[in-house]
Amino acid sequence: MGDLREIRRACARIVATLDPPRPWELTSFVEYVSREIRRQPIHLTGRQLPPGVTSFWFHVPGRGDWIVYEERSVPQHQLHLVLHEIGHMLLGHPGVDPRVLADPTLAPQYGGRQEHEAELLAGAILNRFGPSAGGDPVADDLARAMETFDPSWEATPHVRPILLGRTAPRRRDRGGGPVA
């Protein structure tokens, strides 16, 4: 539990240093990080990714950073995927070695603390700066839509509480009661 508190404090410190343009918009946030923090271009690219891969980022010296995300994800999930990868950048985590893109057998196994840190930082950025969840008329249907139409949703169950917690603090069933 102490580890989680430490990660949350680190994420809060990073978020406190950010001053993105308002009102919130993903493209302007990416441009802000590109210009003010990374000091190099950040390119966003949607692609159909293999099963189990939802996003990654890599750096090409002299050309900038590329964030590649699952293009078949719903927009709210794409937002989170991009912020997750920006989280890795802000936390100083290494990107994917571009050689892995040509030979996937070179890919290291990802997971553990760095992924958890990037998830928490993406959620903290959304909570502080992201689009307001208040008054969203489709929030109750978000989970059903993602489960039905988004092939990457199954690969990222750890994202569900962040997305659903952000967009639908208290989901309700058809009868008006809270959904567990």
Write out residues in the chain with pLDDT < 70, as ranges: 1-2, 104-111, 132-180
pLDDT digits (tens, 9 = 90+) for 5-46: 899 999 999 999 999 998 889 999 999 999 999 999 999 999
pTM above 0.75, yes or no: no
DSSP letters for 111-128: -HHHHHHHHHHHHHHHHH
- Take residue 58 and report the two structure tokens written for it: 């890599």
Q: What is the pLDDT of residue 28?
A: 95
Decide if 32 contacts 24 (C-beta within 8 A).
no
Q: What is the pLDDT of residue 146?
A: 52
Q: Which domains does the chain have, with CATH numbers?
A: 2-167 (1.10.10.2910)
Task: Report d(CA 10, CA 93) in Å as an integer.
Answer: 14
**Sign of the alpha-carbon torsion through 81, 72, 70, 63:** negative
Q: Nearest to residue 55, comparing CAs of 64, 63, 46?
A: 46
Alpha helices by DSSP H, the chain: 2-17, 26-32, 75-91, 98-102, 112-129, 142-149, 160-167
First to last CA, the chain: 24
Q: What is the pLDDT of residue 59?
A: 93
Q: What is the pLDDT of residue 99?
A: 76
One-letter amino acid identity for 73?
A: S
Q: What is the pLDDT of residue 166?
A: 47
